[in-house]
Amino acid sequence: MTDQDNRPLRVAIVGSGPAGFYAAEYLQRQQPAVEIDMFDRLPTPYGLVRGGVAPDHPKIKSVTRIYDRIAGQPGFRFLGNVCVGRDLSHEELRAHYDGVIYTVGAQTDRTLGIPGEGLRGSHAATEFVGWYNGHPDYRDFEVDLSVESAAVIGVGNVAMDVARILASRVADLAATDLAGHALAALEASRVRTVYVLGRRGPVQAAFTNPELREFGELPDADVIVDPRDLELDELSAAELSAADDRTAEKNMATLKEYASRLPLGRPRRVIFKFLTSPVEILGTDRVDGLRVVRNRLEADGKGGIKAVATDETEVLPVGLVFRSVGYKGVALPGLPFDDRSGTIPNANGRVLAAPGTESALPGVYVAGWIKRGPSGVIGTNKPCGVESASHLLTDHASGVLPAPSGDRAALDRLLAERGVRVVSFADWQRLDSLEVEQGKAAGRPRLKFTRIDEMLEALT
């Protein structure tokens, strides 16, 4: 028997969001158990569950209890504050593990490609989300909430989160773990009108039922829908009746109920506008308006429905624009990347040498948004993570994984030599308790650390 037969399989997972944890969970179920080292560039785990899920959705965040159980299993280590591509190269990881699974998500956003997008006051929704969630990357993000009106472009669930946070009562936000700096800024916010713009019709909207219904429950905001936007063209009516599930039908019912409401003169308004695309963000040094065009719908020739501009335009008097038209993955040094899809090219999780080829890089896998693009809910990452992890096990069983030359001790030495302060899961649990304690003192459920140096300082 060789040494390889006697030791457990060693897997590195890069990224500690849902896809990483579900891949880890699957590997932990194997006999003999697999040793897992989960890396994250932040000292904190959970990916978008901490940095993306809206603070007023605590039930969704409670999924971290499952991840904590996974992290508590024998053979699992969390190596936080270690950035692959900076502190360790891909090749070094490959040399220390039998397999590497990248679950790094989609770390940037898509742009609109219209004039004025670079003006002050024009932001990616993802920046705003990171900022209110206390993500260290966005701690110094500046957003001017002294304006009266804002536009959110896109009608996915991220757009819903952004519009809802802007229209929420501060007292309600204070009852959440929204970051302290963002709470102070939102307390001083003068934003009264939030436009939410869908380029296609209500039947094609990407938001889900509960997220749309939450607008009807905002105590301080009227929700306004123009009934004309709900008159369906033939294509939309056909799409609605042929739909596999009832999401669009239920959304239509909610929107009709909103359209029937009389504004109550509440301090804020959320105005949904469908069949509306932004064409230019106006302003000289900062945003002072948004030119939009009315669209009509047409078959796109591929079985879908696309928006086509008419010549009807108007200017919305907004001082802020948040584009919420999707996240996008970022290339990792040493790994292939498909710039068009913003993903690492892969065949069901096995990383390919280049987009369009069939040859897989042995021992390298992806799961989550860097594998399939930025879609689906947290639970979607479970089958996705399982699929990739199971390919790793199959490849191991068939002997195609290159044997690593180094082990855990060698990897730890390498990080120590480079002066990397590795944050363990026990360290994170200390940070977690400190955040809850800090919250208690401020009458909040949690007060997040929002800077990496503050986190490391608190651990000394």
> How far, in Å, CA of 349 to CA of 159, rounded?
29
Pattern 115-154, ligand NAP, x by CB under 6 A = --------------------------------------xx
Q: How far is the CB of 202 from ligand NAP (least distance, A)?
A: 11
Residue number, 76 or 207, with CB nearest to ligand NAP: 207
Name the residue among 83, 73, 79, 104 with its Cα closest to residue 8.
73
Q: What is the DSSP letter of 179?
A: -
Residue number, 45 or 368, with CB nearest to ligand NAP: 368
For the segment 349-378, give every residue that binds ligand NAP (CB under 6 A). 374-377
Q: How far is the CB of 219 from ligand NAP (least distance, A)?
A: 20
Q: Check residue 324 for interaction with ligand NAP (CB under 6 A).
A: yes
Residue number, 233 or 412, with CB nearest to ligand NAP: 233
Residue number, 71 or 378, with CB nearest to ligand NAP: 378
Q: Check residue 295 for interaction with ligand NAP (CB under 6 A).
A: no
Q: How far is the CB of 289 from ligand NAP (least distance, A)?
A: 17
Q: Check residue 155 for interaction with ligand NAP (CB under 6 A).
A: yes
Q: How far is the CB of 108 from ligand NAP (least distance, A)?
A: 12
> How far, in Å, CA of 173 to CA of 34, rounded?
42
Which of 166-174, 195-203, 229-237, 248-256 is the region at the interface with ligand NAP (rule: CB under 6 A)? 195-203
Q: Which amino acid is at 29?
A: R
Q: Check residue 200 for interaction with ligand NAP (CB under 6 A).
A: yes
Q: How far is the CB of 70 from ligand NAP (least distance, A)?
A: 21
What 3-state DSSP class applies to 307?
Answer: strand
Which of 155-163, 341-349, 393-401, 447-455 is the region at the interface with ligand NAP (rule: CB under 6 A)? 155-163
> How far, in Å, CA of 102 to CA of 104, rounded?
6
Pattern 68-107, ligand NAP, x by CB under 6 A = ----------------------------------------
Tokens of 440: 């208690």
Greatest C-alpha distance within the chain: 78
Residue number, 91 or 245, with CB nearest to ligand NAP: 245
Q: Phi/psi at 114 (nearest 5 deg)?
A: -120, 160
Q: Check residue 158 for interaction with ligand NAP (CB under 6 A).
A: yes
Q: Check residue 43 for interaction with ligand NAP (CB under 6 A).
A: no
Q: Check residue 112 for interaction with ligand NAP (CB under 6 A).
A: yes
Contacting residue, 76, 258, 274, 327, with ligand NAP by CB under 6 A? 327
Q: How far out from the chain centre does Cα 389 lie? A: 22
Q: Report, in this order, helix, strand and coil percent for the chain, each rounded to 5.
A: 35, 20, 40
> How far, in Å, CA of 67 to CA of 250, rounded?
32
Q: Phi/psi at 399 (nearest 5 deg)?
A: 75, 20
What 3-state DSSP class applies to 311?
Answer: strand
Q: How far is the CB of 194 from ligand NAP (least distance, A)?
A: 16
**Contacting residues for 383 by C-beta, under 8 A, at least 6 apart:** none
Which of 219-227, 282-290, 296-304, 320-328 is the region at the interface with ligand NAP (rule: CB under 6 A)? 320-328
Name the residue among 378, 323, 376 with its Cα closest to residue 163.
323
> How far, in Å, CA of 315 to CA of 317, rounded?
6
Contacting residue, 35, 37, 127, 211, with ligand NAP by CB under 6 A? 211
Tokens of 313: 């335009």
Rg (CA), the chain: 24
Q: How far is the CB of 207 from ligand NAP (least distance, A)?
A: 7
- Give burial (CB, 10 Å; 0-12/13-18/19+) of 299: exposed
Tokens of 443: 């009458």
Q: Check residue 325 for interaction with ligand NAP (CB under 6 A).
A: yes
Residue closest to ligand NAP when measured from CB atoms:
156
Give yes or no for a contact between 295 and 219, defined as CB atoms under 8 angstroms apart. no
- Residues that bind ligand NAP in the complex, under the rule CB under 6 A: 112, 153-159, 161, 198-200, 204, 206, 211, 277, 324-327, 374-377
